[in-house]
Structure 1
């Protein structure tokens, strides 16, 4: 059986070649050869891309128990290169030699093909071809640009270091952000080496030069690696220590100073390999990070609720970056306390919250890093929390507009260290979360203030009027962060001086605009109407005085439409007499018991425009079952596309449907119709008063 495929010279072609070989061997039902075949093909394909720089072809042939794979490129070089013993890169061909039962090189006029053979049941390395030369390989960074290739190179180099120095073991240890060392690759180390407990501090003051410990006693790193003697060299890239390359021996005195020089040369080249792989991995990680940060930013920008914002922050962190997360906020005393806690295991959330609550209060941290307060919890709280008390914990300050408003604390179980990328991403998220939380806090404060101001501009309650049902509706536009311009009022007055009968006043108005400026006019109008009514001033005179007061505000004044009326019971308790003035306001409607609707009142100038306006009152009488509806333009001008609710007597038809209903039912019917009229929320305040003679 034969198969072949062509691949371009690109970084992705190596992975494509690996997948192709695995698929072919799966089809040929020889899965036991797949792992070795894919690894060897990967090495040869990498060489074709990195050295030849041409397209290449992978040819597969299976005869009986022998599988032969050949990678052909179009480079004119006639001899493949094998690295010297001390080289830290270029070990792809020796890897193929160790895996294959046979291998070699074929040439024709246009291609060079390197082949290898695997046999089912055969083991052992193949001998080197007689025409294979030993020479220095090109710099390792020219061919190891991918993270998986770097891992292969590191593993091969560890074996080479062990052989070169006749050591019992060798290892590459990489430095994490918190100073811990992780075992990246090793050969020959004892199985009980505590790889999670190695720290850079245990290596001593290594500086930038290799070191030889002929006696490992009292050396924490040597003790941890079960070494009687140890030789090592720092791995440095761009002036930064990224790890250690070490070789170990069980007995003391196995290494000389010359061994330090030899391992140092290997470490220098390996550091370039690791740094290049780190940068490539970092670039790929950043693509994922940018997507994550963009998603987080969109979510955080989608709410201005402080509690929900903190919940989003914690749920973005868990479980992508950490096992648990706590969001701290700062109170008025400058003390930081946990406001939201989230754990991947809900059963552990209470224990985590209890542990955090028992920590000594204090200000938020100033710089990102391991959280110093974690170990300060009382022993009783640590026992209750169980293993959580031993978690690895980091904290990140939340700073917005130059103020520390809290911090984000994240944790993972002991031994499960944080990758550097997770900590970098958590730090970036803390900056964005700080602005989101601060914006939500400011918005909440503004909303609370606006709502308090709005409540102060509306009557606390509606007085009971014998023989008259009264219903009111008020809905400010927006999300409650601004004070609306509409208002209403119903209040009792002094008895009529002529008849001695009790009287009440009502008002519904609309100030031009919203916010504090409109609120000032609303407050002025409401208080002025109550004060002037208490002095016995009639409704037209009240509006004339109020008009003068608004004009007296000068540049701060706002236009005001107002419907103001006085309610007086008719003699014999037969209905109500209403004297009212409509100053630029939508005229009220009267609904008769038989369903007929008519408009009442004479339009008159709105307030805040003209001096010396003489207002006159229109008097109407309401009998049993009749309804008076007063609305603001947020009702009549409710929009759905190009149509308004008030067009073509739309409000009159709505009111006609309410014949026989109580005042409350009429108000609810109109309110529901306004809400349902258009697909979008109303952009204007809505206020209405319903008076019905019972």
Structure 2
């Protein structure tokens, strides 16, 4: 069979093939770098390339931009007399890379915004952070405007060359800023192209910012209502906000609004808690004539100022002379125990107005805590006593106990006695038994009421040993001659040192001490014992701890 020899393609066919290629090809003569041929794609990318003329390309590679197109090329040797340039249009790849870099930058900005905005629950700090982030990434100047409050809006502003500025706006001034009333009402943001920067009032941004070319007003979404509004400005007559810029600003505003709303809600809760907590805090201790009162309270958790242990002092009523003292312990710690503590204290205050005896107070309190509908998971131990100054500087106490550790009496010779007052728990049984006891304190003697958080505090060398009653008796005996405030502070410090930072229960202490000499009225009113130790303790002099 005869074999057919292939015929070389005609030049016209070769040109047609080259013109159909998507890669630009330029054939040049090595001598003189003259262009011999350029296909259709090469003529489209480089209109200045003409056969018969010198090649505009040099070197081994080419990278340039022509008419908005990004062209990359490589030179390849064909033979000793010819070489070719192979060029490609990388415009789309370059644009995609640029878009990816922009998206990465925006993602990094939003991540930074989320991290910084979530770092604080302080409203002012959140608004300032919002303005700082906006100026860094979105605008030349930014202003955060808070919702109306009593006819005025608080604001914070940042702009180049100026420190953070703050102030308030009257409600009538809001309409001067295009789109601001709508943003504060929670309406969708108005596109930047619809806002005329020339309508912005002169007070909106400092004059040093220059002419505002683009203005954007965005609501800050909150919890069911706007958390404020964000005003962004770019300076320069040609400044604009693209659709992508506005979308980024809206996403940022949503995160900023959520952070500001959370901080606002937290501040409202803190303020409400402070109001409710104020009536649950231990009261200021009065100093009646004839005897000294001193107290200390330490919650189980430092983050809480209230807990399950409490003390109270109720002054004379209806012309009487007796002062009523109380110290108790609600089962448990924390807010739930504090709520029941408040109920117990309010009940005791109401019963005090009736003028009944301490044992009757416990009986009525038990009935109150057993009322239908009340949660009964918690009970109360309590000591209630009436304090009366008797003859020759002596003080008489009538103490009634409801399942509480017995009060201790420190005599002038260092003897520590337990008061034989006994009774059943409060809030558990329909009927309780109360056996009150009467104690007399000679001048300088002291009666201590305490909660079991003192004796059950664990620590010491092993870290798990209870402070215990025996240790309490011994240390109390060492307080002979000390004013009540100093004795209480010394015991509190000893227990703190014993626990040395470990977990503990609530601890309450209340001491009644008969004066060793007639009371002396100090500046500021109120009877005080003239002892320098007591004066120092009342003034907060911590050095009294080290006195023997």
Do Structure 1 and Structure 2 share a fold, with TM-score over 0.5? yes
| 2:412 is equivalent to residue 454 of structure 1 | no
More displaced 10-residue stretch of structure 1: 577-586 or 407-416: 407-416
User: 2:45 is paired with a residue of what secondary structure?
Assistant: coil
Task: After TM superposition, give the deviation of residue 459 of structure 1 in Å.
Answer: 7.4
Q: Deviations over 1:2-32 (max 9, x none)?
A: xxxxxxxxxxxxxxxxxxxxxxxxxxxxxxx
Alpha-carbon distance in 2 for matches of 1:479, 1:519: 14
Task: After TM superposition, give the deviation of residue 613 of structure 1 in Å.
Answer: 1.0
More displaced 10-residue stretch of structure 1: 407-416 or 505-514: 407-416
Alpha-carbon distance in 2 for matches of 1:610, 1:456: 28
Q: How does 1:47-126 map to 2 (within 5 A)?
A: 84-87=42-45, 98=57, 100=59
Q: How does 1:507-656 map to 2 (within 5 A)?
A: 507-512=326-331, 518=337, 521-557=340-376, 558-574=378-394, 576-592=395-411, 599-602=418-421, 604-636=423-455, 643=464, 646-647=467-468, 651=472, 655=476
- For residue 324 of structure 2, the aligned residue among 505, 516, 524 is 505
* Alignment check: 8 A CA contact 1:488 1:507 kept: yes
- After superposition, the CA RMSD in angstroms is 4.8
Alpha-carbon distance in 2 for matches of 1:436, 1:644: 46
Corresponding residue of 1:409: 231
User: 1:435 is paired with a residue of what secondary structure?
Assistant: helix
Task: After TM superposition, give the deviation of residue 330 of structure 1 in Å.
Answer: 1.6
* Alignment check: 8 A CA contact 1:521 1:550 kept: no
User: 1:402 is paired with a residue of what secondary structure?
Assistant: coil
Task: After TM superposition, give the deviation of residue 611 of structure 1 in Å.
Answer: 1.6
Alpha-carbon distance in 2 for matches of 1:676, 1:425: 56
Bigger relative contact order (CA 8 A; separation at least 6): 2
Alpha-carbon distance in 1 for matches of 2:496, 2:125: 27
- For residue 690 of structure 1, the aligned residue among 511, 518, 524 is 511
TM-score normalised to the size of structure 2?
Answer: 0.65
Q: Deviations over 1:605-630 (max 9, x none)?
A: 22111121111113322233333333
Corresponding residue of 1:338: 154
The unaligned stretches of length 5 or more in structure 1 are: 1-50, 52-80, 105-113, 117-125, 145-269
Q: How does 1:295-334 map to 2 (within 5 A)?
A: 295-296=115-116, 300=118, 302-331=119-148
Task: After TM superposition, give the deviation of residue 507 of structure 1 in Å.
Answer: 0.9
Relative distance call for 1:432 and 1:671 in structure 2 (3 A) is farther
* Alignment check: 8 A CA contact 2:159 2:209 kept: no
* Alignment check: 8 A CA contact 1:394 1:410 kept: yes
Relative distance call for 1:288 and 1:421 in structure 2 (3 A) is farther
Relative distance call for 1:561 and 1:355 in structure 2 (3 A) is closer
Task: After TM superposition, give the deviation of residue 639 of structure 1 in Å.
Answer: 5.8
Q: How does 1:367-386 map to 2 (within 5 A)?
A: 367-368=188-189, 370=192, 378-379=201-202, 381=203, 385-386=207-208
Relative distance call for 1:313 and 1:672 in structure 2 (3 A) is farther
Task: After TM superposition, give the deviation of residue 410 of structure 1 in Å.
Answer: 3.9
| 2:90 is equivalent to residue 132 of structure 1 | no
Relative distance call for 1:573 and 1:657 in structure 2 (3 A) is closer
Number of residue pairs aligned between Structure 1 and Structure 2:
450
User: 2:44 is paired with a residue of what secondary structure?
Assistant: coil
Relative distance call for 1:344 and 1:447 in structure 2 (3 A) is same
Relative distance call for 1:601 and 1:329 in structure 2 (3 A) is farther
Alpha-carbon distance in 2 for matches of 1:303, 1:286: 22
TM-score normalised to the size of structure 1?
Answer: 0.53
Task: After TM superposition, give the deviation of residue 427 of structure 1 in Å.
Answer: 3.5
User: 1:366 is paired with a residue of what secondary structure?
Assistant: coil
* Alignment check: 8 A CA contact 1:510 1:560 kept: yes
Alpha-carbon distance in 2 for matches of 1:671, 1:625: 20
* Alignment check: 8 A CA contact 2:227 2:257 kept: yes
| 2:174 is equivalent to residue 360 of structure 1 | yes
Corresponding residue of 1:285: 105
Task: After TM superposition, give the deviation of residue 686 of structure 1 in Å.
Answer: 4.7
Relative distance call for 1:551 and 1:354 in structure 2 (3 A) is closer
More displaced 10-residue stretch of structure 1: 531-540 or 657-666: 657-666
User: 1:84 is paired with a residue of what secondary structure?
Assistant: helix
User: 2:221 is paired with a residue of what secondary structure?
Assistant: strand
Q: Deviations over 1:40-97 (max 9, x none)?
A: xxxxxxxxxxx9xxxxxxxxxxxxxxxxxxxxxxxxxxxxx996121389x9xxxx98
Relative distance call for 1:541 and 1:353 in structure 2 (3 A) is closer
Relative distance call for 1:590 and 1:417 in structure 2 (3 A) is farther
* Alignment check: 8 A CA contact 1:317 1:325 kept: yes
- For residue 292 of structure 2, the aligned residue among 454, 457, 469 is 469
Relative distance call for 1:462 and 1:483 in structure 2 (3 A) is closer
Corresponding residue of 1:254: none
